[in-house]
Chain A
């Protein structure tokens, strides 16, 4: 195991803990991205379709509060990304070289 890995994982946990805090703060200031502004100006906003199939829609967990849902989503998404990217790294690794 790489010696820096524990510190890297700790940094990921800190980011996940910050997610509900930033989520709350973004709600307080009425967070909107340029994409949403462009949709509003051109009248496209109502054309947005929810895919409806996502297991954790909008980074929320059914039955959990907003902050807890955001935190769980951050942990699940971060862990999933870590595992899949690790897998990609191994698949492309020198040991599998052909």
Chain B
């Protein structure tokens, strides 16, 4: 889901960059001075875990696969604002150090994975969690990544490199990640349940100010 440079037209890349900076600025403002000292290591380990997990490309035979992205997982573990900053850190390091995702389109990649997946995933989680937390984490992971794939498909389909074939890009990105997202949802739910049982004190709900 990491878009390389040359795929998205400059005005779209610029717009996504502005949007991403604006959302991350608001997120930062919301939680500035609100992160308890005990949560800083959790932010570090969750972000680092997402980086490492993103390197594990699922070897699904048949030509189409993906890797864990983790935006919804970050949102559930850290709250949406801190989650967005965590995934944005990962996406920026991937582009700057490893050339995974372009530099001109860095704002677009941050928008899809660190903003859309994080906030959509979190909203879904909050909606379903009162009924069943495990299923909520699964659906959040599943539909969160699908939402991020759709905004990526939108950016690509409105660009000249993709010959403005918007329906094609939306269909391939949306359908592809709707299916592959089942794995994202499963990982999100299983890891979340394990951590929630092992350490219930680490959940963001233990500190309401972080989830504001």
Which positions in A face B, CB cutoff 8 Å? 1-2, 4-5, 8-9, 11-12, 15-16, 18-19, 22-23, 25-26, 28-35, 37-39, 41-44, 47-59, 70, 73-74, 76-86, 88-90, 92-98
Contact of B55 among A19, A53, A94 (CB under 8 A): A19
Asked if A15 contacts B172 (CB within 8 A), the reply is: no
Asked if B162 contacts A16 (CB within 8 A), the reply is: no
Main secondary structure of the interface of A (DSSP, over half): helix
Query: How close is A31's CB to chain B, nearest CB, in angstroms?
Result: 5
**Known interface pairs A25-B59, A54-B96, A74-B55; A85-B37 also in contact (CB < 8 Å):** no
| B23: chain A residues within 8 A (beta carbon) | none
Asked if A93 contacts B37 (CB within 8 A), the reply is: yes
Q: Give 18 CB contacts A-B under 8 Å.
A: A9-B45, A16-B52, A19-B52, A26-B57, A34-B66, A34-B149, A34-B172, A34-B175, A39-B156, A39-B161, A41-B172, A51-B95, A51-B102, A59-B100, A85-B44, A85-B89, A89-B40, A97-B32
Which positions in B face A, CB cutoff 8 Å? 1-7, 28, 31-53, 55-66, 82, 85-86, 89-90, 93-100, 102-103, 149, 152-153, 156, 161-163, 165, 168-169, 172-173, 175-177, 180, 199, 202
